[in-house]
Amino acid sequence: MKDNIISAVTEAIEKSPERKFRESVDLAINLKDVDLSIPKNRINEEIILPKGRGKEVKVAIFASGETALKGKECADLVIPPEEIDKLGEDKRKARKLANQYDFFLAEAPLMARIGKVLGIILGPRGKMPKPIPPGRDPCPMVNNLKKTVRVRSKDKRTFHVPVGTKDMKPEDIADNIEEVIKRIESKLERGIQNIDSVYVKTTMGPAVKIKLR
C-alpha cells in the first residue's frame, strides 16, 4: 500500500497549482457500513504523525511553579491558575484562546477547576486539557502534541485529516498517511472493510484516490 500512497501524494502535489501560501495536504476518508448515529462507533482519535505536521501547532499550558517554568521552554503559552476564573468571566477572550491554540495541557490538580469554568468553551471544540502528572516535565508532552492531529468523524461518514504540507517530501507525507489509516482501521469493527475510499489533496488542488487494496 505504501507505493500506492506515495504515487497518489505525488500526483496530488503535481496537479496542485502554485499558490502564494503553504498549502496543507489533507486526507478525506469515507466510511461504509458503520452506524455513526451511535456515539461509540464514531472516530475520535489523536494521532502522532511520525514525520510531523509540517506546520506550526500551538500548545498552551495551565500551570504554576516549576511546571510553568519548564513549560515556558517549549509551550506557546503558559496560563497561570489565577487566569482560569478571569477567562470564565470573559467568554469572548476564552473563545479566542480556544480558537487560537490547537491543544491544551494542565497540571492535574487544575483539571476539575478548568472543567467547571471553561468546559463549556473547550469541551465542544474537543480541546479539554490533557493532565500533566505531578512532577512531570511537560515538554515531551508538548513536543508530541506539536506532531499530533485530531481525527473526529462525529456523525458523518466522510471526515478530513491534515497529514502534512505541500513542501514536505511525498515519502514523509505517505508515512503520516499510513499511520492515520492504520489507527482508523484499528478502531473500526471490520477494519479496512469499513473504509469505502480515501482521497488525498492539497488545500486548493484536486483530490486523488488512494488505492488501499
- Strands, DSSP E only, in the chain? 24-31, 44-48, 59-62, 77-79, 103-107, 130-132, 148-152, 158-165, 195-202, 208-210
| Contact present, 61 and 79 (Cβ < 8 Å) | yes
Walk me through the domains of the chain, giving residue ranges and CATH numbers.
2-54+148-210 (3.30.190.20), 59-145 (3.40.50.790)
pLDDT in tens, 8-65: 999 999 998 888 888 999 999 999 999 999 999 999 999 999 999 998 899 999 999 9
DSSP 121-152: HHTTTT-PPEEEPTT--SHHHHHHHTTEEEEE
- The pLDDT profile of the chain, 213 residues, written as one tens digit per residue, is 888 999 999 999 999 888 888 899 999 999 999 999 999 999 999 999 999 999 889 999 999 999 999 999 999 999 999 999 999 999 999 999 999 999 999 999 999 999 999 999 999 998 999 999 998 999 999 999 999 999 989 899 999 999 999 999 999 999 999 999 999 999 999 999 999 999 999 998 999 999 987
pLDDT the model gives residue 2: 85
| Contact present, 176 and 49 (Cβ < 8 Å) | yes
pLDDT the model gives residue 123: 94
**The length of the chain, given as a count of residues:** 213
- Tell me which residue of 167, 169, 202 sits closest to 12, measured CA to CA: 202
